[in-house]
Amino acid sequence: MKKKMIAFASMGLVCLTFFLSCKANDQIDEELVSSVLEKPEKIISTKDAAILFTNDHLTRLSSIGKASTTFKEKAIHFELAELTKYFQHLETIATTKNIPITGISFVFGATNDGKRTTFMMPSIRNAQLDYQASFTIENEQIVPFVHIDDYVTARTVSNNDENLILSPNGYISFNEATVLFNSYQTKYIERIAKKVKRDYYTKAVWYSLAEIKSYINYLQRQSQAYNLEITGIDVFFGVYDTNPDLELKSNAQTVFLTANAQTQTIIDRKASRLSHFLQNDFFRKDTASDESEDESLAYNEGQLCPPPKNN
C-alpha cells in the first residue's frame, strides 16, 4: 500500500511538472506570437504603399519626361546587416561624443546619370528653430547639412572621418553628399516646380532612431516567423494624394520603405512582390485595408522636413 502511495505521489509530481512545463511553453509561445504580431506604428497598408508609388510615377516622373523609369531604377537598396551596424555606430557616436542624436533623415539626391537616390544622415533637434537638423562630423567638427536650402555649399576639404552618411553604395563624405543633393535640386526639383506648384518641395524625410530601429527589428521578426529570408530594405519615392485633409502632406513627395528578400521587393508576409502587385492592379481592388495593413511590411509617415517656422 505504501509503495502504491509513493508511486501515485511520484506520478502526481510528474503530471504537475508536465502541466507546469506546458503552461510555461504556452506562455513562451504566446509571447513569441505577440512579439511577431506587434507591428510598428508607421506600418502602412500594401494598398497605401502602391498608391504612393503610383502617384509618384504619374505626378512627378511622368511630368518631367521620365515615365520610362523602370521599377528596378526606382528601388533604392540598403542591406539589413549594414543598417544594423550603422544604427549601432550612431548610438556609439552619441555616447562617446555626447551628441544627442535624435534620428536619421533620408536625404534626397540624384546620381550623375540622373537616377534618384537617397542617403542617410544623423540628426539633432534644433530647439530654437524647432526642426531636426542633419549633420556629419569631419575633422573632429560637427558639420550641419542644411537640406532645407535649395543648394548646399561644398567644403574646401571634406573627408569621410566617422562613417555618418550612408548611401546605397557605402559611406560618403559631406562633399559627396552635397553633389548628390544639389543634383537632385537641378534635375528634379527645378523641373517638377514648373509642373507642380507648392510652397515647399520635400528633400528629406526624418524618422526617430527608435522608430527606424523598431522597423528593422520588425522585419527581422517577420522574416524568421514566415521564412521570408529578408536581407535588406528597398526605399521608394512616393507622393501623397492631393487632399486638403492631409494638410502639409497633400500632394507632397515622400519615401516609403519595404522589405527585400533574395533581391526581390516584397510588401507583405506572403512575400508578394511589389512589382507584381502593381502590374495586376491588386491595390485598386483591395477593400480589406485593415487586413492588408496587418500583413504589410511597408513603412511610411516620416516627418517631411519642411523649413523651420522661423526661417
Residue-wise pLDDT for 11-35, tens only, equals 343 343 433 444 445 544 444 444 4
Nearest CA among 293, 241, 301 for reference residue 267: 293
β 116-126/230-239 pair status: unpaired
Q: What's the pLDDT tens digit per position in 121-169? A: 999 988 887 788 999 999 989 999 998 889 999 999 998 889 999 999 9
Rounded CA separation 281/43 (Å): 21
Q: Is 225 exposed, middle or buried (0-12, 13-18, 19+ CB in 10 A)?
A: middle
Region 305-309: mean pLDDT is: 69
CB 256 within 8 A of CB 46: no
- Estimate the crossing angle of helix 80-96 against helix 209-226, to 10 degrees: 150
pTM listed for this prediction: 0.84
Q: What is the pLDDT of residue 21?
A: 47
Using left for φ > 0, alpha for ψ between -120 and 50, and beta otherwise, residue 104 falls in: beta
What is the DSSP code (8-state) at residue 165?
Answer: -
Q: What is the pLDDT of residue 127?
A: 81
143, three cell numbers: 558639420
Judge whether residue 1 has pLDDT over 60. no
CB 105 within 8 A of CB 91: no
What is the DSSP code (8-state) at residue 262?
Answer: T
161, three cell numbers: 572621418
